[in-house]
Amino acid sequence: MALSAMEIYKLLPQTNCGDCGHPTCLAFAMQLANKQVSLDDCPHVSEEAKNELASASAPPIQLSKVGAGEQELELGKETVMYRHEETFHNQPGLGALVSDDLSDDELAEKFAEFKQFSFERIGEIIEFELVGVRNDSGDPDRFAEVVGLLLDNTDQIPALVSDDPEAIEKAFAENSALADKRPLIYAATADNCEELAAIAADKDAALVVEGNDLDELAELTPAVKEAGVENIFLNSGAEGPLENLQDVTQIRRQALNKSFRPLGYPTATLVEGDDPHELLLDASTFTCKYNDIILIEDAKAWQALPLTVLRQNIYTDPRVPPTVEAKAFEVGDEVGEDAPVLLTTNFALTYFTVASEVETSRVPSYILTVDTEGQSVLTAYSSENLNAEIAAKALKESGLEDKLAHKEVILPGYIAVMSGSLEVESGWDVVVGPREASGIPAFLRDYTPGEGQ
Ligand code: SF4
């Protein structure tokens, strides 16, 4: 049962020393009650109080891990129902699912395709992190063989989708590399819970626990935990997206609002069916709420693109605008002393839009990003985070003067009004560029630095 801020406060030293980064013990207690700080932040709390506060300090949704080394994913530990209340912390792991009924040639083709589910967006590489094999053949030997092919041909985290303990055991026995990868075993049910929990505990694998409903699920998870499985994921056995949505919402409510420990774990689901468009819609719903691992049957690259973009948008902290470093970026090959200089802000979306248009123009250029705390050009100008003085300072600190044979900068058309004052402040010539980034390629093709426009 969660403790109130006052109950927590009574157990703290009440010295208001400030060592936890909060001015008073009460302020710290309020943060702890909201699960926004860790009890470890107070170095003075007694062992006795620590034990009493354990339930208040433990995250309501456990952090579970899958994968190892560079591939390791941390999932769960979410603290809010709605993103606007704070932020969602650990974005779901996305993966593709294949059948062990496919031929080796078909599998090789699919594994090669899955490797390509990776691209860059606003400076971040986004990709599918898992590949699952489903034991449709019912044959443990074939399952183990396909898991071996998966390990040989992909770098992603393996997911073993079978309710047959013999097949799972065989996959580990025949593939010694598997245990080092902390794979996902999908799924322990009331029928096989004991055997699969024993394998997962022994191999330090992550385990999905599946119930026929939430009541059964809540009965199974304590037993799995008791068996020594550290990394647990939940599946309610829901059929279809509506039921899934209802169940994962209920799981999160119970964990966050009622501190109900048996459901305080991240979730996992399979997205299965024949219609790839329907699969994409379902996977999108599951990405929005509240599934932490999503394995999509026979996933295609065209499904990966919108899904990973959706995921990136939802799991970006709404309180912190995405930014790039404030500096002079070189865009294009051999950016020389005659290269144009385009000034913009360090809002990531603005920078990457401008950079993409400069690349399209094929004119090697500098893009000077001014630190506006992630505000776009017009917002920054309106809020005085971008003015002639700040832009002049950025020009000076960029070191561009030493690299260029000219002193001319292109200002975004929307803030043309600033051009005169920037010339005075910086000593640079200022040329007014296009208002929209889409006008940059045509602008640059007709532009010679030092000659104005
Ligand atoms: S460090 Fe501990 S004792 Fe000091 S103010 Fe914070 S909660 Fe209170």
pTM, full prediction:
0.78
Mutate to test the pocket of ligand 1, among 14, 38, 42 (most ligand atoms within 8 A of CB): 42
Give me ligand 1 centre to Cα 22, in Å: 7
Phi-psi sector, 83: left (phi>0), alpha (psi -120 to 50), beta: alpha
Contact 315, 288 (CB under 8 A): no
The ranges assigned to domains in the chain are 5-57, 63-314, 328-445
Gap between the Cα atoms of 324 and 333, Å rounded: 20
**Chain centre to alpha carbon of residue 389:** 37
Q: Which amino acid is at 38?
A: S
Q: pLDDT (tens digit, 9 = 90+) per residue, 373-413?
A: 999 999 999 999 999 999 999 999 999 999 999 999 999 99
Residue 2's beta-bridge partner residues?
none
Radius of gyration for the alpha carbons in the chain, expressed in angstroms and rounded: 27
Q: Which among 6, 10, 11, 15 is the best mutation to test ligand 1's pocket, defined by most ligand atoms within 8 Å of the CB?
A: 15
State both tokens at 168.
Answer: 């799972």
The two beta strands, 130-134 and 206-210, are: unpaired
Q: Nearest-CA neighbor of 111 among 69, 156, 144? A: 156
Among protein residues, the one whose CA lies closest to atom 6 of ligand 1: 20
Long-range contacts of 37-45 (CB under 8 A, 24+ apart): 42/12, 42/13, 43/19, 44/13, 44/15, 44/17, 44/19, 45/11, 45/12, 45/13
For 361, the token pair is 């123009």
| DSSP one-letter code for 295 | E
CATH of 328-445, picked from 3.10.129.10, 3.40.50.11600, 2.40.40.20, 3.40.190.10, is 3.40.50.11600
- Find the DSSP H helices in 209-240: 214-226
φ/ψ (deg, to 5) at 66: -140, 145
Query: How far, in Å, from the CA of 17 to the mean position of ligand 1?
Result: 5
Looking at CATH, the fold of the domain delimited by 63-314 is given as TIM Barrel (3.20.20)
Cα dist. 293→60, 73, 184, 303 in Å? 18, 10, 10, 16
Kindly give the distance from the C-alpha atom of residue 4 to the centroid of ligand 1, in angstroms, as a whole number.
17
Q: How far is the CA of 308 from the centre of ligand 1 (A)?
A: 41
Find tokens 């920078």 and name the residue: 351
Measuring CA to CA, which residue among 297, 307, 266 is closest to residue 132? 297
Listed as ranges, residues in the chain with pLDDT below 70 are 1-2, 55-57, 452-453
Domain 5-57 part of CATH 1.20.1090.10: no
Which tokens hold the place of 297?
């049957």
Q: Which atom of ligand 1 is closest in space to residue 15's alpha carbon?
A: 3
Most informative mutation of 6, 8, 22 for ligand 1 (most atoms within 8 A of CB): 22
Ligand 1 pocket, CB under 6 A: 12-13, 15-20, 22, 25, 28, 42, 44
Shortest-distance Cα residue to atom 4 of ligand 1: 17
Q: Count Cβ atoms below 10 Å from residue 315 Cβ, excluding itself.
A: 15
Structure tokens, 119: 């691209």
CB 29 within 8 Å of CB 52? no
- Give phi and psi for 121, each to the nearest 5: -140, 135
Give exposure, 24-49, as e/b (b: 16+ Cβ within 10 Å).
bbbbbbbbbbebebebeebeebeeeb
Reduced to 3 states (helix: H, G, I; strand: E, B; else coil), residue 10 is helix
Query: From atom 2 of ligand 1, which residue's Cα is the shortest distance away?
Result: 42
Alpha-carbon gap, residue 255 to 78, rounded angstroms? 10
